[in-house]
Amino acid sequence: MALNPQITNLIIILGMMQVSKKIPFDDPQVLMGVRILYIVSNVIIAGIYLYLQNKINSKKDLTTLKYVEPAPMGSADEPKLITTTVHSYDSQQLRSLWKSQLMGLGMMGVMHLYFKYTNPLLIQSIIPVKGAFEGNLVKIHLFGQPAIGDLKRPWKAAGGLMGMAGQGDPKADKKSIEQAERAGSGGVKEE
């Protein structure tokens, strides 16, 4: 039985916090080494995402994908039917991965360069790379796993804090799709 990725992240964070207490960040060479480690980890992630983008575009899977996207939590909106292709769905998922990586890079830049925090550099050199290799796109396009079971599109939203997602999971079952079509929320086509 594999551990939940959030649990392993917590274990890594707690372990790296203990390790980072013993690292002499006052030494300019050590600090430069940790900065280089952080930059290398981000270059690895960028390389993975560029490779994924190339694989997605070369496959250009135009298989139709229909699913019902739930309304945001606390919203009075109806769930809406999304009709798209596997290619555009994967491209959209990759764009969101790029956005989250750039957001983390920006936050880390502010924390390190402006507030002079150095300990998070070490943790953020490991966790995002681990997260990149655990992603569904990487499992399908890099490792060649079939898109069945948990890897069947549309994917469940990643749980936030304590496994709570901001909204429900997308539904691809026939009943939900027909219900959304009858409710008049169908026909939203994403390109």
* CA-wise closest residue to 88 among 36, 129, 53: 53
pLDDT score for 166: 52
CB 44 within 8 A of CB 51: no
pLDDT score for 7: 92
Q: Say which amino acid occupies 167.
A: Q
Confidence of residue 119 (pLDDT cuts 50, 70, 90): confident
Confidence of residue 22 (pLDDT cuts 50, 70, 90): very high
Does 34 score more than 90 pLDDT?
Answer: yes
Each residue's pLDDT tens digit, 126-178: 999 999 999 999 999 999 999 998 899 998 876 554 445 455 678 777 777 77
Q: What is the rounded average pLDDT of the residues 20-29?
A: 92
- Predicted model pTM: 0.84
- DSSP letter (8 states) at residue 65: E
Confidence of residue 76 (pLDDT cuts 50, 70, 90): confident
pLDDT score for 171: 75
- Residues paired with residue 81 on neighbouring β-strands, in sequence order: 68
Q: What is the rounded average pLDDT of the residues 27-32?
A: 94
How far, CA to CA in Å, does 148 sit from each of 93, 136, 140, 143, 154? 17, 11, 10, 14, 11
Q: What is the rounded average pLDDT of the residues 64-85?
A: 84
Confidence of residue 80 (pLDDT cuts 50, 70, 90): confident
CB 127 within 8 A of CB 13: yes
> Which string of DSSP letters, residue by residue, matches 101-152?
HHHHHHHHHIIIIIT---HHHHHTTTHHHHHHHHSHHIIIIIS---S-GGGS
Q: Say which amino acid occupies 145.
A: Q
pLDDT score for 73: 79
